[in-house]
Amino acid sequence: MPIKNPRLWTYSLPIALMLLGPFNILASLGMDIYLSIVPTMPEILGTTPKVVQLTLTLYMIMLGVSQFIFGHFQTVLVGTRY
């Protein structure tokens, strides 16, 4: 008889937090480092402020897309808990 809803995730909550925590910290740290240098980037890189603002926009879009994709993988692999 097949198991209807197998639990694929076998780790405990503290281990899951230790695995996922660094990714959240790195995303926040990357944004903090990036925002502090934005005012001087056009001069350093020899470009316009609009191009630098575009990179910030693309960073935020890709951060949101990656959360959407990894959230879907989490739902498929682990399942949702209510």
Please give the residue that has the higher pLDDT: either 1 or 21.
21
Give me the pLDDT at residue 81, please: 62
Q: Over the stretch 73-82, which tens digit does the pLDDT of each residue have? A: 777 766 666 5
Interatomic CA distance for residues 34 and 26, integer angstroms:
12
pTM: 0.58
Instruction: Return the sign of the alpha-carbon dihedral for residues 37, 42, 45, 51.
Output: positive
Interatomic CA distance for residues 60 and 54, integer angstroms:
10
Average pLDDT, the chain: 80
- Calculated CA dihedral for residues 34, 56, 67, 27, nearest 10 degrees: 0
**Residue 46, pLDDT above cutoff 90:** yes
